[in-house]
Amino acid sequence: MPPGMMGCDVLINKLTKILFTHIKHNLPAIVEDIRVKLRETEADLVDLGPPLPSEDSEKQHLLWNMVTEFV
């Protein structure tokens, strides 16, 4: 093996290039997967409806509306 192909520095550079190529190749697919999951999650949130109120008076009002709709 040629002397310029041995040593830690050569190995570090070679592995860095391999890692960079691997990341560059796979990153678009990872980004697309994240976008798909984000769209799915946003659709799930829409299906769940509006969040529950945080104020006690709003909670009572919501509960009262649910009771009157049921009756």
Predicted local confidence at residue 36, as pLDDT: 98
pTM of the model: 0.62
CA distance 14 to 9: 9
Residue 28 is classified by DSSP as H
Q: Spell out the residues 6+ positions from residue 16 whose beta carbon is closer than 8 angstroms to its own.
A: none
What pLDDT digit, counting tens, does each position of 20-70 carry? 999 999 999 999 999 999 999 999 999 999 888 889 999 999 999 989 987
